[in-house]
Structure 1
Amino acid sequence: MSESPLPALPVTFRPGRTRAVLLTVGTVMFVVITAVALMLERLGPGERVSFVFTAALLFGVLVMLSRPKVVADDEGVTVVNITRARRLAWAEILKVNLRPGDPWVFLDLSDGTSLPVLGIQPGIAKEAAIRDARALRALAESRGTVAERV
């Protein structure tokens, strides 16, 4: 089996298409809801502010959903999911898994837990996610004890 070439470090993996869709939709929603609030003549100032606040809240949720990424460097990996970030040393990563049907990559860790990695997800760009998972696995193999194939 041909091994994936190791990417130059530091490298960041993120679902680019998903991120672009979420940020575009969020921006359009914010602009449209704000425009509607300003155009409706029957709304008072408080109601207009509540429209804009709701639009900003929806935009903020979509920004949070677009946040996931994985940053690999010489010392280890930083996994940024929707609300949390976790720093891992290479030695902590035992397996990098992306099985058919998985919504994202999972890391099996030396403490016996599994960590979801939302920064590599095959939803919109399956081939890119497989390529990124293989690259992360190759990096982990070269620096740790990973044995699982993606």
Structure 2
Amino acid sequence: MIAAWVGAVAVLVLFTVVAVLLRGSETGVYFRLADQVALVVLGLLIAGGVLLLARPRVRADAEGIEVRNILTTQRLSWQVVRRVAFPDGASWARLDLPDDEYLPVLAIQAVDGYRAVEGIARLRALHSAARTS
């Protein structure tokens, strides 16, 4: 999350600096105020896209699990979830659902190392407890 904020601020600063310096440079092209504003707006849009990477989250309790990925949020009961999986070589965890479907869980990623292992273990414990009761 911190990396996404730092990246978004860096992108916005970079686009703003380029927009300011663009008008004063001798490139042979005439840049106007509208071009500068457009460049800053483009920086804002890209920074917003970078911030979307900080959005994934998982909330789980005894009744079910809520998975918020980049654009969507889904709440599922544990009875619908067949398995909490982290396949070999996968970048993130997933919930196996009926009919060979699955829901990616972007909040638990392989690069998180030990934290990912702890997260999967807690989700599996909640899933197991809900399925046996």
TM-aligned CA deviation for residue 103 of structure 1: 0.8
Q: Residue in 2 aligned with 1:22?
A: 4
Equivalences for residues 84-123 of structure 1 within 5 A: 84-123=72-111
Q: What stretches of structure 1 move > 6 A for 4+ residues in a row?
A: none
Q: Residue in 1 aligned with 2:49?
A: 61
Contact residue 90 and residue 144 of structure 1 kept, 8 A? yes
Q: Distance in 2 between matches of 1:110 and 1:99?
A: 17
- SS for the counterpart of 1:99 is coil
Contact residue 37 and residue 51 of structure 1 kept, 8 A? yes
Could you give the per-residue CA deviations for residues 87-107 of structure 1, whole angstroms, max 9, x where no partner exists? 101211111111331111111
Q: Paired residue for 1:134, among 104, 116, 121?
A: 121
Q: Distance in 2 between matches of 1:32 and 1:112?
A: 44
Q: Distance in 2 between matches of 1:27 and 1:141?
A: 42
TM-aligned CA deviation for residue 113 of structure 1: 1.7
Which structure's CA Rg is the greater one?
Answer: 2
Please report the TM-score for the alignment, with normalisation by the length of structure 1.
Answer: 0.76
RMSD of equivalent CA atoms: 1.7
Structure-2 change in CA distance of 1:96 and 1:44 (3 Å): same
TM-aligned CA deviation for residue 32 of structure 1: 2.0
Please report the TM-score for the alignment, with normalisation by the length of structure 2.
Answer: 0.85
Q: Distance in 2 between matches of 1:104 and 1:94?
A: 17
Which structure has more relative contact order (CA 8 Å, sep 6+)? It is 1
Could you give the per-residue CA deviations for residues 33-91 of structure 1, whole angstroms, max 9, x where no partner exists? 11221233343111111111110111111111221111113431111111111110121
Q: Paired residue for 1:46, among 19, 34, 40?
A: 34
Identity of aligned residues (%): 33
Alignment length (residue pairs):
126
Q: Which runs of 5+ in 1 are unaligned?
A: 1-18, 146-150
Structure that is richer in helix per residue: 2
